[in-house]
Amino acid sequence: MLEVDGQGIEVDPTMTLLDACRRAGARVDAFCHDDRVASGGHCRACMVEVGARFFAACSTPVWPDAAITTRSERLDAYRRDLGELMWTEARVAGEVAHALSRWGAAGTRYASEVHTAPSEIAKSEIDHSHPYLRLDLTRCIRCRLCERACDGIQGQHVFSFQGRGATTRLGFGEPGLPFVRSACVACGACAAICPTGALSDVDRDRVARQVRTTRTTCGYCGVGCQLEVHVGLEGQDRQRDDAIERVLRIDGVRNAAVNAGHLCIKGRYAHGFSRHPDRLVSPLLRKNGHLTEVSWDEALDFVTSHMQRLRGAVGGLSSSRCTNEENYLFQKWMRAGLGTHNVDCCARVCHAPTAAGMKRSLGTGAATNALEDIAHADLFLVAGSNTTEAHPVTGARIRQQVLRGRAKLIVIDPRRTELAEVADVHLMLRPGTNVPLLNALAHALIALELVDRDFVSSRTDGFDELAAFLEDLSPERTEATTGVPARLVWRAASLYGQARRPMQLHGLGMTEHVQGSESVMLLCNLALLVGAFGREGVGVNPLRGQNNVQGAADMGCQPDLLTGYLDPQDPVIRSRVERLWGAPLPTHRGLTLPRMYDAARTGKLRALYILGEDVVQTDPGVHVDEALARLELLVVQELFLSETAKRAHVVLPGSAFLEKDGTFTNGERRVQRVRKCLEPPAGAREDWRILLELMARSGIRQTLSSPQDIYREIAIFAPILAGVNYERLEPDGLQWPVPTPEHAGTPRLHTAAFPIGRAPLMRVRFTPSPSFGFFSEEDFPLKLVTGRVLPHYNSGSMTRRSAHADLAPRDAMSISPRDAARFNLEEGSEVLIESPWGEAKARLEVSARIADGTAFLTFHHPETHTNALMGPYLDGLADCPEYKLTPVRIRARSIAP
Ligand code: SF4
Ligand code: SF4
Ligand code: FES
């Protein structure tokens, strides 16, 4: 108990004087304090009196019986003087300027360089080099919040204060460096926290009339960050009633379970695409070889009649960018309306091997743990994931835990990623050798006697057989194949085996191989051997790529499983589904996407409906181009005239995640609300409305008329989602399984048992990819791995239509300095990349982050043709293409003037 301005307040010892003042409702300005970062005590604005002494309230713990005074003559005089001194060093703005004027310090009596020579100072202190972040250090009060946010939230350590006394300045690298070339990753945490506007983002500087703020879920990656989307009217039109609404700014939701207010460059800034002039605003129908604008009625009639005409030879690719409700409708239309199980989604080209591998090893093909477990883990094994670029908010959390010494880190990756730089052990393997490396790790765990014998004997099968199988697969024996020194494998096994809470996170570097599913089984083996399931901070956790790839699979957008992973061949399930849908289910087995391409090439598949995927740019070229060209009917529902849409017979303009209601399911199985923040552009329609219209025209009887109705049907359909409804998803969603309306959701799977009972320990022999047959020093000396860079997302259709394009305007191919010298190539040169199957062109980057003999290329720009390089090889169980091992050679390319 203590007193604030004479009022008695209950406190606990963890509180500060500032907390106590706030609890008492007393106003104490605190410019350099924010609950999200550690206190710094730099600005001295929060000074209060206790007895005859002044204390910085933000950084002074409470003590019993303290009598705090927040207003007194002495404090008023102190604050006035402090305010005037602040004016001498900064052209104060924002909330700080308001506070200073309340203190009676609207200016300064003292001489100030900042105010007397602003133009000279501005030259060195204003930096507009970055497309999103603006620096005007003449406004900086040296409160250091930006530095602490950058260090403590993102872990990027961009800022440091340079100089002493009055000459102290915020720095971000060597003097003279433009900010855009600093280590900044544009997460925006600094601009969101800066109290003076010295650091601001362009979106905050806009002159606009704000109309509303809506909470929704990010539509980029599978982390599922919660956004506050501010929509308004901007520019000259802003007073007109018919002015067009647009996104003004996006903030993170401060108390959201997934991201606690933090965002990355995509979630915060990549919203310009929603009002981009390239948006499709009319249906297009190919007439005389040209895509021609037609009415919605004409387009929908055409699609319905021709899909029905080609019934028996149709297929559909649903979209992981779309909502659960839309994915559910899509597969229902395919199955009940068009009589086919030929329905798939882009999980086929990313994490289908995860689902297949985990299902065989554990019984459920989804993340075993919650993202909040990152705070509980004492070791991370990050395998085949460049997390800080592909899943930035999760990557930042992992990095923070490691930098604070709370967890060890093992990284398996052929590149020295940002996480690899801070890892305790980096296993820099040769591409395509995951299986021998993971077997060697299991060998070492057993040899070091780090196996959890109780867990293994009570919950797994096949330990003795596995131990015998692994006997010959020691780190020393596999070193020549993997390229990883045996001592590092022993060290990694020793760390993993000794950790109390080892948490695995894996990405496409594990799955996009011919033995992708089997690699995931071997990751499960490691966790099973050490008993890392069913508790906090452990498990096997795929980092889902697209925002709703988990949801698209949950909804049954795969040929062999219905919504909720129900088996369509089970007679009991069949009759239940047929009753619910009022239509017979097809009896044949469906085709995966690569098999649909095969069937199209041979004329067995004649119509394909693609919802929101640009397969020409993202799927292996040898399959796609020829297959699409053979189709009698290609329908594409899209935001832009993508490379795939350009080849279509019908194009239907759909909607972006900001423009519709529904739900997404993130990579930790969390179903979260998506809320409409603004209308689609006139002429475009919400995707669920388009699908309902097509279903109605296909004669499917139903009463669904809103996303909420659709979700009610999903909950009836799928036992794992039976307890989910929109009301229960407030505010932070629910993690499935949620079997009843009373169930609180399941952050951690497999607590007591696996769905398959005892988990089998898998014995997987390394079967080198056929791609290895092409690698020879003369023909194709480099192993190419493809992937993403931070500013862009997948085909880049949304991020390229924002200022992200300024940060990464081209795809770049990286090779090591030694390989650059070997091939006589220089940084920045234009190169032609050739594989046995195709060619691509890009700019060369020489990078010490990549091993000799390995190359890395992004695929965000259509003109690069990255996927034309890919071969025909697929994962043996899940048909996922082998994106992470392509034999290539490169040479300089001359550019036409
Ligand atoms: S730039 Fe802003 S947040 Fe950073 S020290 Fe200056 S005033 Fe504080
Ligand atoms: S980490 Fe993923 S979900 Fe979060 S803001 Fe970035 S892109 Fe969006
Ligand atoms: S808020 Fe306490 S010293 Fe700045």
For 588, counting Cβ atoms within 10 Å of its Cβ (0-12 exposed, 13-18 middle, 19+ buried), the class is exposed
Digit-coded pLDDT (tens) for 199-209: 998 887 776 77
Q: How many residues does the chain have?
A: 897
Residue 629 has, within 13 A of its CA and on its CB side, a CA count of 6
CA dihedral of 588, 590, 594, 600, whole degrees rounded to 10: 60
Q: How far is the CA of 45 from the centre of ligand 1 (A)?
A: 14
Q: What is the DSSP letter of 108?
A: -
Q: Which residues are CB-contacts of 128 (< 8 A; sequence separation ≥ 6)?
A: 134, 135
Pocket-forming residues, ligand 1, beta carbon under 6 Å: 140-146, 170, 194, 196, 198-199
Atom of ligand 3 nearest to the CA of 58: 2
Q: How far is the CA of 770 from the centre of ligand 3 (A)?
A: 63
Q: Could you give the angle at the alpha carbon of 96 between the alpha carbons of 90 and 97, nearest 5°?
A: 70
* Residue 495, both tokens: 């760390």
CA distance 66 to 63: 6
Choose the residue to mutate in 37, 46, 193 for probing ligand 3, maximizing ligand atoms within 8 Å of C-beta: 46
CA distance 88 to 494: 57
3-state secondary structure 64-101: CCCEEECCCHHHHHHHHHHHHHHHHHCCCCHHHHHHHH
Atom of ligand 1 nearest to the CA of 199: 1
CA-nearest of 351, 356, 382 to 526 is 382
Residues of the chain whose pLDDT is less than 50?
897
Task: List helix spans (H) across 778-893.
Answer: 804-807, 817-822
What was the pLDDT predicted at 120? 55
Instruction: With beta carbons less than 8 A apart as the criterion, state whether 84 and 107 touch.
Output: yes
Instruction: With beta carbons less than 8 A apart as the criterion, state whether 893 and 831 touch.
Output: yes
What was the pLDDT predicted at 781? 96
CA distance 70 to 65: 16
Q: How far is the CA of 32 from the centre of ligand 3 (A)?
A: 5
CA distance 659 to 678: 5
* Residue 817, both tokens: 């300095």
CA-nearest of 332, 223, 247, 221 to 676 is 247
Residue minimizing CA distance to atom 4 of ligand 2: 225
Q: How far is the CA of 666 from the centre of ligand 2 (A)?
A: 11
Ligand sitting nearest the alpha carbon of 143: 1
CA-nearest of 289, 343, 421, 233 to 608 is 343
What was the pLDDT predicted at 897? 47
The CA–CA distances, whole Å, from 722 to 31, 672, 741 equal 48, 15, 7
Q: Report CA torsion sign: 757, 758, 763, 764.
A: positive
Q: What are phi and psi of 47, to 5 degrees?
A: -60, 135
Q: Does the Cβ of 46 fall within 6 Å of ligand 3?
A: yes
Q: How far is the CA of 82 from the centre of ligand 3 (A)?
A: 12
CA distance 681 to 658: 11
Q: How far is the CA of 201 from the centre of ligand 3 (A)?
A: 24
Q: Does the Cβ of 47 fall within 6 Å of ligand 3?
A: no
CA distance 415 to 506: 15
Q: What is the DSSP letter of 268?
A: H
Atom of ligand 1 nearest to the CA of 159: 4
Q: What are phi and psi of 38, to 5 degrees?
A: -65, 150
User: Which residues sit opposite 421 in a β-bridge?
Assistant: none
* Residue 662, both tokens: 């529904």
Q: Is the pTM of this model over 0.85?
A: yes
Q: How far is the CA of 37 from the centre of ligand 1 (A)?
A: 14
The CA–CA distances, whole Å, from 556 to 33, 342, 709 equal 48, 11, 18
Q: How far is the CA of 799 from the centre of ligand 2 (A)?
A: 13
CA-nearest of 408, 407, 412 to 386 is 412
What was the pLDDT predicted at 788? 85
CA-nearest of 654, 618, 619, 660 to 637 is 654
DSSP H/E element including 229: strand 226-234
Q: How far is the CA of 17 from the centre of ligand 1 (A)?
A: 23
Choose the residue to mutate in 17, 31, 60, 141 for probing ligand 3, maximizing ligand atoms within 8 Å of C-beta: 31
Residue minimizing CA distance to atom 1 of ligand 3: 30
CA dihedral of 186, 189, 193, 199, whole degrees rounded to 10: -10
Pocket-forming residues, ligand 2, beta carbon under 6 Å: 218, 220-221, 223-225, 259, 263-264, 266-267, 391-393
Q: Does the Cβ of 42 fall within 6 Å of ligand 3?
A: yes
Ligand sitting nearest the alpha carbon of 90: 1
CA-nearest of 590, 584, 547 to 794 is 547
Q: Does the Cβ of 609 fall within 6 Å of ligand 3?
A: no
CA distance 436 to 414: 14
What was the pLDDT predicted at 895? 60
Q: What is the DSSP letter of 152?
A: I
Amino acid letter, residue 307? M
Instruction: With beta carbons less than 8 A apart as the criterion, state whether 517 and 878 touch.
Output: yes
Instruction: With beta carbons less than 8 A apart as the criterion, state whether 51 and 67 touch.
Output: yes
What was the pLDDT predicted at 194? 93
Q: How far is the CA of 266 from the centre of ligand 2 (A)?
A: 6
CA gyration radius, the chain: 29
Ligand sitting nearest the alpha carbon of 41: 3
Atom of ligand 3 nearest to the CA of 43: 4
* Residue 358, both tokens: 């985990």
Atom of ligand 2 nearest to the CA of 258: 4
Residue minimizing CA distance to atom 6 of ligand 1: 140
Q: Could you give the angle at the alpha carbon of 711 between the alpha carbons of 706 and 717, nearest 5°?
A: 135
CA distance 843 to 829: 6
Choose the residue to mutate in 16, 17, 39, 146 for probing ligand 3, maximizing ligand atoms within 8 Å of C-beta: 39
